[in-house]
């Protein structure tokens, strides 16, 4: 799943050239400092579209096609890590890393798939990109690479449910809660089996995607128009 796809990558469709280094609007503020952003391991398009709405040039990348129209590279993210991004948000697979699957760890270590998954995470964290956020559930990344910078929950961002999500951050501040709501059901955890279960479980919560874009998509140079 994480190896080089071996497939011919799908054509990369860039957004309007004017998005790069152009004028972007942030509420009442305007800026020329728009960013080139990579959303790695995302098929849903949720984080990509949240940052795009802020005026940035944003590409998602996944081995799978994007579920919503938008700038998307279907292929191995390692093909595009050196393409001059200002910011990357990544959602690498947790299948071989999440502590919820600890009973399978011995087999995963013996087969080498766990180390392969860790190497993939390390490659993403080491990418030559100034600002990086990597998200994963509670996983052995904490003990084998480093502890996360913060742990967020959907209920901090307007969704009344629980799903502990760790964030490893480089050059970015911790995400601030935007809408703390009642409700602490582990809805995701209790989802019935089905072919799309893993997809539904892995999609980023909209409130979290919006918070990332609102808080991390704000450029450093801003000015107010009279
Ligand atoms: C946990 S899911 C993340 C889903 C994401 N939160 C979303 O909303 O679309 C992990 C994704 O990583 C993708 N993936 C795995 N290895 C990859 C690679 N080498 N390059 C790009 N994507 C990869 C998988 O196809 C899968 O969709």
Q: Whose CA is nearest to atom 13 of ligand 1?
A: 41
Answer for the pair 188, 159: CB distance below 8 angstroms, yes or no: no
What is the DSSP secondary-structure string of 46-111? HHHHHHHTTT-EEEEEESSPPSSSSSEEES-GGGTTTS--SEEEE----TTTBGGGGGGHHHHHHH
93 lines ligand 1 (CB under 6 A): yes
Q: Residue 73 belongs to a domain with what CATH number? A: 3.40.50
SS3 207: helix
Q: Give the per-residue pLDDT at 221.
A: 47
For the CA of 95, the closest atom of ligand 1 is: 1
48 lines ligand 1 (CB under 6 A): no
202 lines ligand 1 (CB under 6 A): yes
Range(s) of the domain holding residue 138 = 17-224
Q: How far is the centre of ligand 1, averaged over its atoms, from the C-alpha of 156 (Å)?
A: 24
Confidence of residue 189 (pLDDT cuts 50, 70, 90): low
Query: Which has the higher per-residue pLDDT, 73 or 12?
Result: 73
Best residue among 48, 63, 76, 118 to mutate for probing ligand 1, ranked by most atoms within 8 Å of CB: 63
Reply yes or no on whether the pLDDT at 20 is more than 50. Answer: no
pLDDT tens by residue, 39-82: 999 999 999 999 999 999 999 999 999 999 999 999 999 999 99
Residue 6 lies in a domain: no
Residue 7 lies in a domain: no
70 lines ligand 1 (CB under 6 A): no
Residue 190 lies in a domain: yes
Which positions ≥6 away from 133 have C-beta within 8 Å?
A: 88, 89, 90, 167, 168, 169, 170, 172, 212, 216
Distance of alpha carbon 221 from alpha carbon 226, whole angstroms? 17
For the whole model, what pTM was predicted?
0.86
Residue 5 lies in a domain: no
* Degrees to nearest 5, angle at CA 44 with 61 and 169: 65
pLDDT tens by residue, 90-121: 999 999 999 989 999 999 999 999 999 999 99
pLDDT tens by residue, 142-187: 999 999 999 999 999 999 999 999 999 999 999 999 999 998 887 7
61 lines ligand 1 (CB under 6 A): yes
Which positions ≥6 away from 104 have C-beta within 8 Å?
A: none
Three-state SS sequence of 126-188: CCCCCEEEEEECCECHHHHCCCCCEEECHHHECCCECCCEEEEEECCCCCCCCECCCCCECCC
Query: Which has the higher per-residue pLDDT, 222 or 79?
Result: 79
Residue 34 lies in a domain: yes
Residue 141 lies in a domain: yes
Q: How far is the centre of ligand 1, averaged over its atoms, from the C-alpha of 223 (Å)?
A: 37
* Two tokens, residue 119: 């190497």
Q: How far is the centre of ligand 1, averaged over its atoms, from the C-alpha of 77 (Å)?
A: 9
Residue 116 lies in a domain: yes
Residue 10 lies in a domain: no
Structural domain count, the chain: 1
Answer for the pair 85, 38: CB distance below 8 angstroms, yes or no: yes
């Amino acid at each position: 799943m994480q190896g080089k796809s071996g497939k011919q990558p799908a054509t990369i469709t860039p957004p309007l050239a004017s998005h790069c280094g152009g004028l972007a609007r942030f509420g009442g503020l305007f800026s020329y400092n728009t960013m080139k952003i990579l959303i790695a391991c995302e098929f849903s398009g949720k984080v990509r579209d949240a940052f795009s709405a802020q005026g940035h040039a944003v590409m998602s990348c996944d081995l799978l096609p994007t579920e919503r129209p938008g700038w998307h590279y279907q292929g191995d993210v390692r093909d595009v890590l050196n393409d001059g991004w200002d910011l990357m948000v990544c959602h690498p697979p947790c299948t071989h890393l999440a502590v919820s699957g600890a009973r399978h760890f011995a087999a995963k270590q013996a087969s080498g798939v766990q180390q392969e998954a860790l190497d993939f995470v390390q490659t993403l964290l080491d990418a030559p990109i100034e600002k990086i956020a990597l998200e994963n559930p509670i996983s052995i990344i904490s003990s084998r690479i480093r502890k996360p910078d913060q742990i967020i929950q959907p209920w901090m961002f307007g969704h009344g449910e629980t799903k502990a999500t760790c964030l490893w951050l480089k050059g970015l501040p911790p995400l601030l809660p935007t809408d703390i709501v009642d409700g602490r059901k582990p809805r995701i955890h209790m989802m019935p089996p089905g072919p799309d279960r893993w997809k539904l479980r892995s999609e980023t919560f909209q409130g979290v995607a919006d918070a990332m874009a609102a808080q991390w998509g704000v450029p450093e140079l801003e000015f107010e128009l009279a």
